[in-house]
């Protein structure tokens, strides 16, 4: 075991505690990655607030990038010195979901204590199979993807979740065709990437829906053709007007707010699909009138992590970024040190930040 620094959650809703913890060496099929950057996702915040339960103490964080510093036995495609992004998508590769091209919903259960321990040797949860609010991680080799040496790790970390979730939901879940119309509810980090995905996929018109005029203005910088304030009465009517008097072929719900889920079908055209991306708290429920969806052929589709295959989709997205067709630098609102993580989380919770990134080499 080696000693590293990590931000530990010891009580739901309380500030994280930066402390020394123990990290085991990589086992068979695992790699150790020394991190340069980890972005703060709202999922990390929700977990740390107890929205979905889980074991404590725990180390959260799952949008990370760094350099491989050690490999376990049975690892042949990666070597020490390789720059990589680290994701929470741990897949077996052989279950029906993985074999069917859906590794994000792998059916294999992973049991075990994980590589983390507290400084006195007690169990420490590696949340979301990453535990990346830490100087180093030990993860399965299937969770990582090589990246170019000249790609900034702060930028690369965004790809691990927010980018693949937003862009992937458009391309993989909605299967958007050129010329179709899109509504994106929520213009935060994932929403902006869904807007980018729709632009890249050739959407005719892209309507961003948010409660903030400022965010709607930013959404247009990322490719939205129209903005609609969610606070107005019956905002879907404004969306219909923006789309030339019809509903959208795809509505992407990128926030975990129940009103957004309940209103989403109202934005749809006949035959349209609502893609459920944002994660409400456990126990929260939305209601629909099924006959209305059935009568006009509409659908509700869940999308986890953009339904991506990381070894296929991440290199493609990096190439788009290098061509200037995918915005990444513009997604970063602030850069912070590990010791400032609670300040970065507080800033993220204000709703004004797109993505805050923790840097380990500040």
- 281, 302, 323 — which closes off a domain? 302
| CATH number, residue 325 | 3.90.180.10
Range of the domain at 290: 175-302
User: Do 326 and 278 reside in the same domain of the chain?
Assistant: no
User: Do 22 and 148 reside in the same domain of the chain?
Assistant: yes
Q: Quote the DSSP letter at residue 25.
A: P
Across 65-79, 98-112, 322-336, least confident range: 98-112
User: Do 120 and 237 reside in the same domain of the chain?
Assistant: no
d(CA 328, CA 256) in angstroms, rounded, equals 23
d(CA 186, CA 189) in angstroms, rounded, equals 9
**pLDDT > 70? residue 274:** yes
pLDDT of residue 358: 97
pLDDT of residue 354: 84
User: Do 6 and 108 reside in the same domain of the chain?
Assistant: yes
**pLDDT > 70? residue 82:** yes
User: Do 195 and 258 reside in the same domain of the chain?
Assistant: yes
What percent of the chain is predicted at pLDDT more than 90? 93
Task: List, in order, residues 6 or more apart from 318 with CB less than 8 Å away.
Answer: 147, 148, 151, 156, 159
**What are the pLDDT digits (tens) for 234-270?**
999 999 999 999 999 999 999 999 999 999 999 999 9
Residue 166 lies in a domain: no
Q: In the structure encoding, which two tokens stand for residue 110, read together?
A: 């992973």
Q: How many domains does the chain have?
A: 2
User: Do 16 and 121 reside in the same domain of the chain?
Assistant: yes
d(CA 6, CA 20) in angstroms, rounded, equals 6
How far is C-alpha 120 from the chain's CA centre? 33
- 262, 285, 302 — which closes off a domain? 302
| pTM for the model | 0.94
User: Do 96 and 152 reside in the same domain of the chain?
Assistant: yes
Residue 132 lies in a domain: yes
Nearest to 358 by CA among 63, 19, 5: 63
User: Do 13 and 154 reside in the same domain of the chain?
Assistant: yes
User: Do 268 and 132 reside in the same domain of the chain?
Assistant: no
Longest distance between any two alpha carbons in the chain, whole Å? 64
User: Do 326 and 293 reside in the same domain of the chain?
Assistant: no
User: Do 120 and 89 reside in the same domain of the chain?
Assistant: yes
Residue 168 lies in a domain: no
DSSP assignment of 95-161, as one string? Answer: SHHHHTT-GGG------S--SEEETTS-B-EEGGGT--SBSEEEEEGGGEEE--TTS-HHHHHHIII
Q: Could you tell me which residue, 112 or 100, shows the higher pLDDT?
A: 100
User: Do 129 and 209 reside in the same domain of the chain?
Assistant: no
| CATH number, residue 246 | 3.40.50.720
As a 3-state breakdown, the chain gives helix, strand, coil percent values, each rounded to 5, of 35, 25, 40
Residue 48 lies in a domain: yes
pLDDT of residue 159: 96
Strand 17-23 vs strand 116-118: parallel, antiparallel, or unpaired?
antiparallel
In order of 203, 278, 289, the CA distances from 179 in angstroms are 5, 25, 29
- 284, 302, 320 — which closes off a domain? 302
Residue 167 lies in a domain: no
**pLDDT > 70? residue 362:** no
């Amino acid at each position: 075991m080696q000693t590293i620094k990590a931000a530990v959650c010891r009580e739901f809703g309380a500030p994280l505690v930066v402390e020394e913890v123990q990290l085991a060496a990589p086992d068979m099929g695992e790699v150790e990655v020394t991190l340069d950057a980890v972005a703060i996702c709202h999922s990390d915040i929700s977990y740390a607030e107890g929205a979905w339960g889980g074991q404590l103490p725990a180390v959260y964080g799952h949008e990370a990038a760094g350099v491989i510093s050690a490999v376990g036995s049975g690892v042949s495609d990666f070597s020490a010195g390789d720059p990589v992004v680290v994701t929470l998508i741990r897949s077996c590769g052989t279950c029906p979901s993985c074999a069917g091209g859906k590794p994000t919903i792998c059916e294999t259960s992973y049991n075990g204590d994980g590589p983390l321990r507290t400084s006195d040797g007690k169990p420490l949860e590696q949340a979301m199979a990453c535990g990346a609010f830490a100087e180093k991680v030990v993860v399965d080799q299937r969770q990582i993807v090589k990246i170019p040496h000249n790609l900034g790790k702060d930028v690369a970390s965004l790809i691990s979740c927010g980018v693949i979730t937003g862009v992937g939901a458009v391309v993989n879940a909605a299967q958007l065709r050129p010329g179709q119309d899109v509504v994106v509810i929520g213009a935060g980090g994932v929403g902006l990437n869904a807007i980018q995905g729709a632009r890249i996929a050739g959407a005719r018109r892209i309507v961003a829906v948010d409660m903030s005029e400022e965010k709607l203005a930013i959404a247009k910088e990322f490719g939205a053709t129209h903005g609609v304030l969610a606070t107005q009465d019956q905002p879907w009517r404004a969306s219909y007007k923006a789309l030339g008097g019809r509903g959208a072929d795809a509505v992407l719900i990128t926030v975990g707010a129940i009103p957004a889920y309940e209103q989403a079908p109202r934005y749809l055209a006949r035959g349209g699909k609502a893609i459920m991306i944002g994660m409400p708290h456990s126990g929260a429920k939305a209601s629909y009138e099924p006959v209305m969806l059935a009568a006009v052929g509409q659908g509700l589709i869940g999308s986890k992590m953009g339904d991506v295959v990381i070894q296929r989709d991440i290199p493609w997205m990096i190439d788009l970024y290098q061509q200037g067709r995918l915005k990444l630098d513009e997604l970063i609102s602030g850069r912070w040190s590990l010791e400032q993580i609670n300040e970065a989380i507080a800033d993220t919770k204000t709703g004004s930040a797109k993505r805050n990134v923790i840097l380990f080499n500040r």
